[in-house]
């Protein structure tokens, strides 16, 4: 089986690497830090003009329809550059679920604007006190053909710039997924600080009226949409984490090769080379599990277990590689004039976003236990056993 990239995928990867490498400089990032708002809108528009924002959006909606695997390559390049653009919340958590589950009217009204960079639609996946995005705390009650929403959402990226926010609420008939205007009546936003500096907001909904044309899915279709959103978001996070870790590893290799002690590069010291080798193995494993999850999602196969494994590896590798990079860089690693600190901040946020590795490891263990019980016939009719 050939696991190499297709020519068009290499083209996307190379173009993204070129644009991000040219535009995301230390000086540009420092200038954005000084504004307190880490979103590079000119860069976002440049990526749109290059056709990169629409790589996973179908051609009928203004994109190139190159699929989720290609989008993950783009996310990895964004991670390598720590580029201040909202690829994950806009192109993964919002665009992909809308493309798959929304009706044609919503797709045509929203997706072309995302592909062209004219508009932003983000997703609200996090609620205070709720670790299960498949079962939202926010409530929806019917109001004729519309819905009235009440609840709180946290960590909503670029909610202040978004045309709509994609979010879920529960109702007596099951979950509903809707598009909410963040400037609409009953919606209030307040800024939140994030580890990586991405502009994020707390979103409070009080009797927010959502018309029928902005209802994306309800009932079982909404459940399927939420499950899909969770999977592509976690896989996309793993791809972005891969880019962050690859760059930290490359920076560490360069530094330890150039830094001399006792007349030789410190990379020749056994303790240094062993720790760097462990980091290299970690990054290689993260690449494999991320590619597996992305491939299954693109093929429409059951990717639940693969996505969970990718999230576990992403969290653990982000932590270990970040620690190794800091250790092997010595004191220079914490110098804010040196780029490593940005990667460590991104690594920490990606490690913990939507839950840490321990919770997903427990989830995977529960799934394995249920499978083992089913195979052994425990808790089932003893006459019926799994072969």
Q: Does domain 221-376 have CATH number 3.20.20.70?
A: no
3-state secondary structure the chain: CCCCCCHHHHHHHHHHHHHHHHHCCHHHHHHHHHHCCCCCHHHHHHHHHCCCCCCCCCHHHCCCCCCHHHHHHHHHHHHHHCCCCCHHHHHHCCHHHHHHHCCHHHHHHHHHHHHHCCCCEEECCEECCECCCCCCCCEEEEECCEEEEEEEEEEEECCCCCCEEEEEEECCCCCEEEEECCCCCCEEEEEECCCCCCCEEEEEEEEEEECHHHEEEEHHHHHHHHHHHHHHHHHHHHHHHHHHHHHHHHHHHHHHHHCEECCEEHHHCHHHHHHHHHHHHHHHHHHHHHHHHHHHHHHCCCCHHHHHHHHHHHHHHHHHHHHHHHHHHHHHHHCCCCCHHHHHHHHHHHHHCCCCHHHHHHHHHHHHHHHHHHHHCCCCCCCCCCC
Class of the 7-119 domain? Answer: mainly alpha
Domain regions of the chain by residue span: 7-119, 123-218, 221-376
Output the tens digit of pLDDT for each of the chain's 387 residues: 456 889 999 999 999 999 999 999 999 999 999 999 999 999 999 999 999 999 999 999 999 999 999 999 999 999 999 999 999 999 999 999 999 999 999 999 999 999 999 999 999 999 999 999 999 999 999 998 899 999 999 999 999 999 999 999 999 999 999 999 999 999 999 999 999 999 999 999 999 999 999 999 999 999 999 999 999 999 999 999 999 999 999 999 999 999 999 999 999 999 999 999 999 999 999 999 999 999 999 999 999 999 999 999 999 999 999 999 999 999 888 888 899 999 999 999 999 999 999 999 999 999 999 988 888 887 654 444 443
Domain 123-218: top CATH class: mainly beta
Query: pTM, whole model, 2 decimals?
Result: 0.94
């Amino acid at each position: 089986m050939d696991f190499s990239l297709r020519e068009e995928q290499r083209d996307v990867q190379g173009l993204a690497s070129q644009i991000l490498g040219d535009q995301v400089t230390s000086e540009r990032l420092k200038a954005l830090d000084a504004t307190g708002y880490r979103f590079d809108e000119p860069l976002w528009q440049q990526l749109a003009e290059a056709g990169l924002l629409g790589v996973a959006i179908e051609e009928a909606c203004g994109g190139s329809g190159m699929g989720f695997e290609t989008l993950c390559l783009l996310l990895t390049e964004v991670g390598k550059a720590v580029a201040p653009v909202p690829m994950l919340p806009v192109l993964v958590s919002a665009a992909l679920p809308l493309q798959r589950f929304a009706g044609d009217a919503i797709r045509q009204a929203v997706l072309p604007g995302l592909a062209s960079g004219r508009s932003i639609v983000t997703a609200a996946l996090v609620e205070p006190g709720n670790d299960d995005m498949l079962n939202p705390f926010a409530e929806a009650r019917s109001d004729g053909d519309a819905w009235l929403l009440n609840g709180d959402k946290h960590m909503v990226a670029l909610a202040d710039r978004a045309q709509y926010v994609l979010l879920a609420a529960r109702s007596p008939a099951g979950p509903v997924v809707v598009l909410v205007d963040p400037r609409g009546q009953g919606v209030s936003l307040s800024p939140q600080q994030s580890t990586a500096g991405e502009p994020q907001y707390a979103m409070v909904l009080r009797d927010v009226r959502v018309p029928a044309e902005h209802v994306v899915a309800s009932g079982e279709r909404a459940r399927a949409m939420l499950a899909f959103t969770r999977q592509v978001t976690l896989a996309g996070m793993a791809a972005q984490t891969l880019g962050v870790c690859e760059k930290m590893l490359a920076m560490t290799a360069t530094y330890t090769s150039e830094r001399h002690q006792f007349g030789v590069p410190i990379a020749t010291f056994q303790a240094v080379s062993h720790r760097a080798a462990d980091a290299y193995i970690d990054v290689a494993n993260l690449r494999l599990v991320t590619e597996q999850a992305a491939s299954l999602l693109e093929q429409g196969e059951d990717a639940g277990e693969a996505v969970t494994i990718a999230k576990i590896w992403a969290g653990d590798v982000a932590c270990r590689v970040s620690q190794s990079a800091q250790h092997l860089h010595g004191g220079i690693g914490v110098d804010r004039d040196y780029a490593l600190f940005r990667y460590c901040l991104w690594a920490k946020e990606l490690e913990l976003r939507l839950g840490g590795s321990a919770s997903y490891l427990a989830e995977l263990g529960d799934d394995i236990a249920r499978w083992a019980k089913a195979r052994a016939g425990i808790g089932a009719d003893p006459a019926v056993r799994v072969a």
